[in-house]
Structure 1
Amino acid sequence: MKYRDPAVAGSFYSKSKEVLQSELTDLMSYTPDPSLNVKALIVPHAGYFYSGAVAAQAYSYINQSEINPKKIILLGPNHRVGLSGCAIPSDDGFITPLGKVSVDRLFCDILLEKNFVTENDNVHTWEHSLEVQLPFLQYCLNDFDILPILVGQSEVEKVADMLSFLLDQDDFFIIVSTDLSHFNPLNKANKLDENTIANIINMQCDLLPNQACGCHALNGFLNFSKAKNWNIKLVNKANSGKKNSIKNEVVGYASFVLF
């Protein structure tokens, strides 16, 4: 079995199992609306100090409910290695301080066969956008597999078609990983992010990288969600300027649930 070691444990989140579990317990204090049959999340992927609370409020919808998904599609952007299209790793699983997470190799192979994705370990090895979601999932769920897909420059319809295909095959839960605007002064960032949040709520599928770093995954997902007539709800929003004294280069975060 081939496992991907954590790339950002000790920086984006604690490398200590005990400290990480305690941190997640503190973050998961939000009480969600139990009436929503949540099918997907949009969550940020910064260090837990910055965006952990924003992400945790969305994850609380699967932590404190009977949804209990067994198969998770993880979609996120590539930050370190260039990518055109969508890519999966060759790994059988990912490792975090909380243990191992199995990759659904069956559906990885199916996606490869259908030419929805390529296999590219280089783009996955140091990428944090999917990795930081795993401890949240491990905290919330006991038994699940992931389908980790990094989305580079891609046509909206191709990502939407891939999601439609997958949900026709099995009962997948979808998590889209993205932050909002990057490195703008606080006032400008707030205006940009409010506009982006409104576009996401309206399921507009033409978001740009300066609005959301995961725009390629997000646009395809919103196109798919719109076709499914899903509803969307903003759960929480914040930015890095609320956590430190740097106000001239802030990063925006927001989380949503779809149902």
Structure 2
Amino acid sequence: MKIAICSVQEFNPTIGGIERVSVSLAEGLIKEGVEVLFVACRKSPYSKPYTLPAKQVLLPKTLDYCIENVQALAHILKEEKVDILLNQNSHSELYNRTCYEVKSLSGVKLISVLHFSPDMRIKGNRNLVSFKYLSLKENIINLLRDVCTRFPLRYIFMYDQCRMYKNLYLNSDRIVLLSNEFKESYIKLSGIKESSKLTAINNMLSFPYEMNNYQKKKQLLWCGRLLFSQKKAGSYFVSLEKATRTITGLESCDCW
């Protein structure tokens, strides 16, 4: 069996996130005797020298979707005799379209992976009003975002996202979520009638572990990327304000 792990960005494990997870997955698959191929569209601006456990191929264009990339990827999969295409960028509707068309041309099985909760854009835009840290304009914008995620408005303002999840389900052979708890939100947003294609990996936090009690500071570690509205500074300040209400002597340790 041979699996092609694909995404828009090169699989540099030093970047972290999806890239690191993909490399770890590839290492595990190779140990089990599965052949792996990495396929990406573009180089990362933050890339440093790295080594991969398998060959990596870059598509001709840096776009999430274009005919050239579709044809090139379909050709690569046939030449490499790939059985399964693993889409690690399933949150991009354009890249999903690339995978759908490649599947149709090459006949491979398509597994789509979501690396976050399907309703992140809904829950992530709620309860972000804070007159202590944010300006009046920011609070008004956050309040409007909150209102637009409430039933039934979310089915109007989140129409594109709901449609994307439905198309993802219809065109994939399997969809992998990061937790069984995410299945309910995916079903609600996509409007699918049956969920046999949905599966979930084990959340590592659900495994038993030994508690080590030791003296430590009361610190709040905030990790975020400013590219996403749910992780911007406003969310940080609101979270910090809520935490300080219940935890005395709390310090913040930021990582952006």
Q: What TM-score results when the alignment is normalised by the length of structure 1?
A: 0.28
Say which structure is richer in strand: 1
Larger Rg: 2
Q: What TM-score results when the alignment is normalised by the length of structure 2?
A: 0.28
